[in-house]
Amino acid sequence: MMVRLSLVMPKLLAPFLGSLRRRSTSVAPSSAAAAQHHSQRQLARNFADAIDQAMALRQWEQAQRLADASGRLAPDNARLSEQLARLKLVQGDPETALAIVESCNTMPASLRLLRAVCQWLLGAKADAHLDLLQWSKKASAPLDARLLLALIDWKAGDLPASIKTLRQNLRHLDDPRTLETLFLISLHRGNKEQAENWAQQLRQCLLAAASVPIADVMLRSLGQTGMPPQTQVTDKLVATLAMELISFEAAILPLVEAQHKKNNPHTVRLLCSAIERALVEFSDRAAAIHSLARLYALQGDLRSARRWALSGQAEFPLYVPLALMARKFTQDEAESFIKLGLDTSLEKAA
């Protein structure tokens, strides 16, 4: 089973655009000037939190109003600069996002990562790669720096370099996102045995945190041990898998593709329930809705498959896979839709 990087890359990048919440401590001002400075910092933090909340709720106009009101405070506050840059990236304006990042008087790890993302999106891939490569060599580099470097190497076709970088993240601890990315690279290379090994290692990692559904689904999709085939789809299991899919949205596509290769009804039902539960949180709702329609078709639930295909096409009329699915899926084609459900992967529809 091959995984097309062009399809999973937006989801792999999504965590780097997410907010990095930080604790703040109050410092008692010692003078009028210090009091004003403290007040400005607090105001900037309040704006940053409000913008973050508005984006989380998809209240884009409110987020923009807050951004317009707070822009003058950004250069002196990294947290606010981060939120303004994230908003510009969501709006498809990486050039302005980069200008915001570079105008900030400090450059914490979160802004440095955003700068690399902006450079990569703007085509300055060499600059992004060089900075991440130098940064990743340091023991103090965050895991996300190596993850982003590995994704850029993967995109460039240098899989050995990507794997080498990711393995550095595992020198001292088993990082779930690193293991998940290694799993996807193994699938991309068609190396099922290595993919199974990474999924097993991920399962052991998550077992310690009492959170294993996504690893179990990966293993079951590969025909390996994991959750028993007859596992009951409980609300707790659905909620846990939903949270894991939100954290690693790129896993949805290969999991759905695996069910088309080897269908396990319990796994399909679990995936449907978890994707529905997490739908409002996904960065790529169109792809998630398309996956839902395909999974329901696999179950033989044509009414639900049709409902998701048509509602998704209405919400995202420019998303080609949904448009093709909705066009073919009319009531008089119901009998042939089982085959359509098995035959409308993103690769074929795009």
Residue range 194-199: mean pLDDT, rounded: 82
- Does residue 288 form part of some domain? no
- Does residue 3 form part of some domain? yes
Site of tokens 């169109």: 286
Q: pLDDT-based confidence at 64, cuts 50/70/90?
A: very high
**Total structural domains in the chain?**
1
- Does residue 118 form part of some domain? yes
Q: Which domain holds residue 63?
A: 1-18+37-137
- Does residue 115 form part of some domain? yes
Range in 62-71, 194-203, 289-298 the model is least confident about: 194-203
- Does residue 263 form part of some domain? no
Alpha-carbon gap, residue 286 to 109, rounded angstroms? 31
3-state secondary structure of 234: coil
Q: 90 and 114 in contact (C-beta within 8 Å)?
A: no
Phi first, then psi: what are they for 210, rounded to 5°? Answer: 55, 40
- Does residue 325 form part of some domain? no
Alpha-carbon gap, residue 271 to 238, rounded angstroms? 8
Q: For position 124, what pLDDT does the model report?
A: 92
For residue 103, what is the domain's CATH number?
A: 1.25.40
Query: What size, in residues, is the chain?
Result: 350
- Does residue 9 form part of some domain? yes
Mean pLDDT, the chain, integer: 78
- Does residue 87 form part of some domain? yes
Q: For position 31, what pLDDT does the model report?
A: 65
